[in-house]
Structure 1
């Protein structure tokens, strides 16, 4: 089997495929042009999109050419969901979301060199078609029985809500994308999430019917945890790749919380670490699980890939400064505010609030007498510096980037004071 396919299988990145041996032979013969589509049904990509993106990166690293498709047209429709009909967004919103997705995808792939990635938007061809052209030139190749038998379609048709013709037609549009990219770029492989299997195969069949050519389909798995539940959701919702929707610090912390039972499998899927590196981390999980070295590596690698080395360095600096002995003043304000947003907090007026008042306001101690004893006994730190004067006034000189002060009782009880000035 082709080396990159064997690597993808070892990493658990292949769910379903058509003729794997034929695809292997094609990859051995030379550079293959492939594509994956991303619909702008939200303002950002999320962690689930990372799986097909990483597969694209592996294929490109092996010498094959990726086409990253942003569905400016299909995003106006939306593929059918199990939970019911999508709310259609305005053209302006979909355009904004498409631009956002495009800028994110451009960070992950290499757009230079002999197998440079190409960004495409299906609005460029679907938007030019009339309804008559779509029905005559494309729709006639799709059979109703096949379309109705697709799992998601069948489930929605049995539901109380049913399925609109708008969402039902989505599979025709996605199938046409593959045909158009085959014609324009010689694209012979479509990849995507396993929930898109039926749509991907529809495009493959369309090319065979219209052009008489054989092409390939490969899907990535829907990632679950060891207990079988879906991997990803948090109390705040999706694990967004946009730093505006989820800070790099919160993103890092999400991956850091991975269970021991899942971390090695996720290292294979979500990172580009070698087999030897992952094997070494697996030994550490078994021998010294309390050190959580595998989780730290997973969080670091995924954060670096998504947000870049500078953002990761800020996250690590904030983590060390909050829970270790690092310099809080060297952490940028945005990262620091994100890092402390879940901590107990209170507001204060620089130049007027004493340390004693701050400790009580933050509930680090109950009452003035207890707070005074703790402060005098060297039990309180301000910005990682011991502070033993209860009557000391906190001033603007104490403010860290982000206009806040970190007060710590002992080693593990942290709280944040936000300036009112």
Structure 2
């Protein structure tokens, strides 16, 4: 049964499925009613773009701002130099300052699409501002003394690593102290009283809540979102072709739209609630559609999510292209969906043509390629030795001959 809350923010996120856990929901609810409250989510700069796995918490920040509060996006310019060990089997590669800054520049492009940073409504900070200048001995004496190694070892993110007898470096072990210090420092500077994040960050968030109470005798809170998997058990944001990036120069708006269009039937209603701003009743209606009618929900999901990130024009263009190429086969042609077992991959493009029924023989396939008549995802193929693997197929590989013969190949 969902907890009873009165603040707009908590009511909305509980109704839409964002809440996994919170440190003191009643106290947080009261603070939000009195509001506004400042909250942050941290993002380490480990790649040049955020990916779909980050989108849940970006939407959480968006709802936080839309309900009258102030969100902080904290760039991990300092903590990225250490690397978060949470639920990893090995140490993250250490990045240099120039690469970290380049990654931050790439990540910042996305947040401006979801949050309003004008007139201090939202803030973008970098924890290098306070971490880079720390004096090690002073930090150990003033902050480190508040941490129990016994308790740190009990956190699941650390314990699971040690239980598997996988090395955890002293550098990584310090990460949770630095993240806790981030919370303390943002409270001091910006009256930030709430840290939010995925449920894998629960231990790190608790550390920050405890540290702020110990050092400043102030009450702050933590809130986590569930770690999402699709209904068929895959980690949200991952496809066989790799990460679904949010930056348009790393993944085109069309490919991003297609990712959502290919959502499994059972996930449509849930994803509409989490990744769009459609009313909950409409999300439930679309998610309950059956048979081919569920495609209405998938297209609405793809359009809404793509509009938020890339704009309405990009979403409309993606839908128009998809309707022409995939649903109608393009120029009046037909599109047939073909499923290939993962154990049958990789295959040569010659074998692929035979398996999809586009050509009757290898000789015909070679002739087709030699004449420039074959395209994979609209790119011409000139080499008959090309190997097609699961990574190339991704969420769907379009095989086209001319303008009227198409196959959509998927891994089953």
Give the structure-1-normalised TM-score.
0.77
5 Å-filtered alignment, 1:2-151, equals 2-80=7-85, 81-112=87-118, 116-151=121-156
Q: What SS does the aligned partner of 1:88 have?
A: coil
Q: CA deviation at 1:257?
A: 1.3
Q: State yes or no: 1:302 paired with 2:308.
A: no
Segments of 5+ residues of structure 2 without an aligned counterpart are: 332-347, 351-356, 366-372, 374-399
Q: What SS does the aligned partner of 1:408 have?
A: coil
Per-residue deviation, residues 271-314 of structure 1 (Å, max 9, x unmatched): 1110232133134x13x544511111111111111222222122
5 Å-filtered alignment, 1:183-198, equals 183-198=188-203
Q: What SS does the aligned partner of 1:34 have?
A: strand
CA contact (8 A) 1:317 1:326 kept: no
CA contact (8 A) 1:77 1:167 kept: yes
5 Å-filtered alignment, 1:280-299, equals 280-283=285-288, 285-286=289-290, 288-299=291-302
1:339 equivalent in structure 2: none
Per-residue deviation, residues 336-373 of structure 1 (Å, max 9, x unmatched): xxxxxxxx999xxxxxxxxxxxxxxxx95569xx99xx
Greater strand percent: which structure?
A: 2
5 Å-filtered alignment, 1:2-401, equals 2-80=7-85, 81-112=87-118, 116-283=121-288, 285-286=289-290, 288-323=291-326
Q: CA deviation at 1:188?
A: 0.5
Q: CA deviation at 1:147?
A: 0.8
Q: CA deviation at 1:253?
A: 1.1
Q: CA deviation at 1:150?
A: 0.7
Q: CA deviation at 1:413?
A: 5.1
2:404 equivalent in structure 1: 409
Q: What SS does the aligned partner of 2:94 have?
A: coil
Q: RMSD between aligned alpha carbons?
A: 2.9
Matched residues in 2 for 1:96 and 1:142: separation? Answer: 33
Matched residues in 2 for 1:64 and 1:232: separation? Answer: 28
Question: Between Structure 1 and Structure 2, how many residues are aligned?
Answer: 351
Q: CA deviation at 1:244?
A: 2.1
Matched residues in 2 for 1:19 and 1:297: separation? Answer: 36
Per-residue deviation, residues 118-174 of structure 1 (Å, max 9, x unmatched): 110000000111211221221111111111111121122233332000000000100
Per-residue deviation, residues 41-98 of structure 1 (Å, max 9, x unmatched): 1121111111111011001000000111000001111100422111111221111111
CA contact (8 A) 2:52 2:236 kept: no
Matched residues in 1 for 2:329 and 2:57: separation? Answer: 37
Give the structure-2-normalised TM-score.
0.78
